Chain A
Amino acid sequence: MDFELSEEHRMIQQMVYDFAKNEIMSIIKEHDSNHTYPDELLTKLAAQGILGVCLPVRYGGAGMDYVSLGIVSEALEWADTSVRETLAVTLALHAMPIFQWGTEAQKEKFIPPVVAGESVACFGLTEPGAGSDVGAMTSRAVREGDEYVLNGEKMWITLADLADRFLMVVKTDPDAGVRGMTAFILERGWSGLTTGTIEGKLGARASNTGWVNMENVAVPESHRIGEEGEGFKVAMSALDNGRFTVAAGGVGTMKACLEESVRYAQERKTFGKAIAEHQLVQQMLAQMQQRIDVGELLVRQVGWMKNRGIRNTRETSMAKWYCTDSANTTANDAVQIHGAYGFSEEYNVERHLRNSKGAQIYEGTSQIHQLMQASYVLGQRVDRPLRCELPAYDAEEWQRET
């Protein structure tokens, strides 16, 4: 058993943390404060190859592995959740499901422009009346000749109002429950497709969140990802990737909070000594480190499983549940350590606290993950092989140019 990161991984970690420090930290407070999306960052993320970190070079990716996806997610969220969300949506929830479920022609057509940052991408599952209860979705696709006609509304969609490409999951057979769903790629500019931004969020303010409305949108069969009826499986395997980035991001939030708390606790003096000398502050710092250590191990394990092509739905769910709840507790303690200053925008910890709340809700609430874990424990849930599994990492194959 080897817990050490490889030299490649350490260099990626250094590079992305440097990127986060230089490119994100310098602009993020202003964007967070103004609720604006930093367009310039998307270009830089793409140019650096980050948006395609764990995809083969022949699809425009960087040819690195899934552990690298975790490292990159952690470093981006160390700066701000919203930037990690861009990676999650573009890569984990859009490009990776195409990589897993798409035909060769679809992979060649749809993946390169997305990871190159030329087409902004998003993923649409949630609806105004269907979040955790995915089966309650009402969006419909009806086949008419060699195309489908889509109607319905998606809500709380990250990058909705900026996206050029939309991976949407809708019902093709309303009577078949989750087996009656199908996934499609829609393109901006198609008749009947409109989007909007949801204003006034508590956190992730430097990300765009919105709605997508579909009114008789005609979608060619060439844009269907997977077979009819496989939409739920496409969505759930996308979430196995998205939740991995959320979990790794939670570790990033915790590391940022610990660093800021240690710095502040050594500077700030009360009762004649630095507050880091007070045992109740020390307890909070120690618990932060404990959560980071546990979270990091859970995330690394999932990355390792993905690299080997081992199904990881349960482990990913556990990592997502643990890391997001822990990030919220850690950010809350970080604000507490900073006292009144932590309550102000002057320091970063209040931003991390606001951001950390969202991660307990999206991509499966903490409660959904607990129900999932319980159903595994009780033997009510068994993951069966999928028609298309996420490919295991193959360095030589993935780094081949053609």
Chain B
Amino acid sequence: MNIIALIKQVPDTAQLSPIVDGLQLMQNGQPRIVNPWDEYTLETAIQLKESHGGKVTVLCVGKPESVEALKTGLAMGADEAILISDDTLEGGDSLATARVLVKAIEKIGACDIVVGGRASIDDNHAATAVQVAALMDVPPISYVAELTVEPDAGHLKAVRLLETGRETVTTTLPAVVTVVKEINEPRYPTFIGIRKAANAEILMWTLVDLGLEAEEVGVSGSKLIRTGLEVPQAREATLELIEGAPGDAARTLAERLIEEQVI
């Protein structure tokens, strides 16, 4: 089975400091981590390989330092990693990024399934993988919490985690799936994996390698232009401690919630 895992390197939002300009940190991309949702992407892809054999290729569009994220994928057990990095890709929206990813997938050649995370924690559009599916003209299955793939039969069954419930769907391969954290427990890289990854050469592709024109990617290839970015004003909250015996406190709490029209 040829499995392609889409991952992204993102700023570590947990480390953003309210004193140092958090947004500037985001822009500069420091400190960086593998997009947390993509840890589930990698685990899903590796588990598929372990069950069905084949090869996991990790694909990432990003700055040169995204090599670190790709190496994490290799250390977890992926077979190959490719970084698409080019100055002209800066500022691209999800569609422009999807265009680049699809070209890369075509260049890789054989592909039975593409796996991505539900979203990336920086832009949070949850759109790229679905647009990849659209451009590849294959079915997109998003928010997958359970996945059964039958490569010989050429189809998959997935349980999607939706706000309204759990939806079970089947479709044909190849397909693009995006996964949620309920699907698995990502493994830690092993020491052997770390050694392999540290010595591995990451393939680096540019626009020229993919046969794309500058107008098709980056800001000029995007329909969505970011015009502003700011931290929302912190809301003033008041804290009220309700004391007393549990029964009395619960009663007071219920009364207060009704008063505030929360319930």
Contact residues of A with B, CB < 8 Å? 6-8, 11-12, 14-15, 18-19, 48-49, 53, 62-64, 266, 276, 399
**Residue from A12, A19, A266, A276 in contact with B194 in the complex, judged by beta carbons closer than 8 Å:** A12
Rounded to whole angstroms, the CA-CA distance of A25 and B171 in the bound complex is 41
B151 interface contact, C-beta 8 A: no
B197 interface contact, C-beta 8 A: yes
A18 touches B194 (CB 8 A): no
B148 interface contact, C-beta 8 A: no
Rounded to whole angstroms, the CA-CA distance of A140 and B222 in the bound complex is 80
Rounded to whole angstroms, the CA-CA distance of A321 and B93 in the bound complex is 54
22 contacts between A and B (CB under 8 A): A6-B198, A7-B71, A8-B198, A11-B71, A11-B72, A11-B75, A11-B189, A11-B194, A12-B191, A12-B194, A14-B72, A15-B75, A15-B188, A15-B194, A48-B190, A49-B190, A49-B191, A49-B192, A53-B191, A64-B195, A266-B17, A266-B18
Rounded to whole angstroms, the CA-CA distance of A15 and B195 in the bound complex is 13
Q: Report A-chain residues with C-beta under 8 Å of the C-beta of B188.
A: 15, 18-19, 48
Which B62-109 residues have C-beta < 8 A from chain A? 71-72, 75
Contact residues of B with A, CB < 8 Å? 17-19, 71-72, 75, 188-192, 194-195, 197-198
A62 touches B19 (CB 8 A): no
Beyond the given A53-B191, A63-B195, could you list 13 further A-B residue pairs with CB under 8 A, ordered by the A residue number? A11-B71, A11-B189, A11-B198, A12-B194, A15-B75, A15-B189, A15-B194, A49-B191, A49-B192, A62-B191, A62-B192, A276-B19, A399-B195
Q: A7-B71, A11-B75, A266-B19 are in contact. Are A63 and B191 (CB under 8 A)?
A: yes
Q: Distance in Å from the Cβ of A29 to the closest Cβ of chain B?
A: 20
Q: Report B-chain residues with C-beta under 8 Å of the C-beta of A7.
A: 71, 198
Rounded to whole angstroms, the CA-CA distance of A48 and B192 in the bound complex is 10
Q: Distance in Å from the Cβ of A8 to the closest Cβ of chain B?
A: 4
A8 touches B189 (CB 8 A): no
Q: Report B-chain residues with C-beta under 8 Å of the C-beta of A53.
A: 191
Q: Distance in Å from the Cβ of A60 to the closest Cβ of chain B?
A: 12
Rounded to whole angstroms, the CA-CA distance of A14 and B75 in the bound complex is 12
Rounded to whole angstroms, the CA-CA distance of A11 and B18 in the bound complex is 28
B194 touches A8 (CB 8 A): yes
Q: Report B-chain residues with C-beta under 8 Å of the C-beta of A63.
A: 191, 195
Q: Distance in Å from the Cβ of B149 to the closest Cβ of chain A?
A: 27
B71 touches A8 (CB 8 A): no
Q: Report B-chain residues with C-beta under 8 Å of the C-beta of A6.
A: 198
Rounded to whole angstroms, the CA-CA distance of A8 and B190 in the bound complex is 11
Q: Distance in Å from the Cβ of B245 to the closest Cβ of chain A?
A: 23
Q: Distance in Å from the Cβ of A95 to the closest Cβ of chain B?
A: 16
